[in-house]
Amino acid sequence: MKQPNTVPMSEMILRETASQTAGPYVHIGLALAAAGNPTRDEEIWNEMAKADAEGERIEVVGTVIDGNGDLVRDAFIEAWQADSRGEYQLEYDLHKPFNSFGRTATTFDHGSEFTLKTVKPGVVKTADGQAMAPHINLTIFARGVNIHLNTRLYFEDEAQANADCPVLKRVESPARRQTLIAKREEADGKVRYRLDIRLQGEGETVFFDF
């Protein structure tokens, strides 16, 4: 019997999955509190570090701004960062003091700010051993954004580490590098870092092709 022609899986060329905008319903499934819906018993949200987490407790806040200069009030953001020792926690567990992964969102309340409660990350090295400045990786989803955007948040008070960071140095324009630097604030005895993300136009945030 003649065998049908088969192509090894390793040689198959698969069609790229189509992309589509994330909104306006992403909050309903992934940001229940921001959508005003009851939360699940175990929810991945913006408290990445509990009170007993090792390291300096910080809060990260900011807004997302579109090309017209208007606030994007229903953006969804995922954060991925190292702990205070510079190590990524690969297993997510809500009962642990710290998790490397978190989620947040802008809303129609509270000035449309997103918030992360975390610890200041330690130094992580590149594959070839170069020390990167402390940073938080951010992924932005929003209406009208067909492919999610990747950026980073660096810290204003890590000037020397920022100057030496091999990733930041690849952004040639000093003005463009500043779009990644969160400004330090102190409010109610808490250390807070503020970063406003501009999707396009003047002062557009640097986005990475990860």
Residues in the chain predicted with pLDDT less than 70, given as ranges, are 1-11, 19-21, 23-24, 110, 210
* 126 three-state secondary structure: coil
What whole-number distance in Å separates Cα of residue 148 and Cα of residue 207?
10
Nearest by Cα to 81 from 204, 193, 198: 193
State the pTM of this model.
Answer: 0.89
Domains of the chain: 44-198 (2.60.130.10)
Question: What is the per-residue pLDDT across 146-183, written as a single tens digit (0 to 9) for each?
Answer: 889 999 999 999 999 999 999 999 999 999 999 999 99
Question: What is the per-residue pLDDT across 74-87, written as a single tens digit (0 to 9) for each?
Answer: 899 999 999 999 99
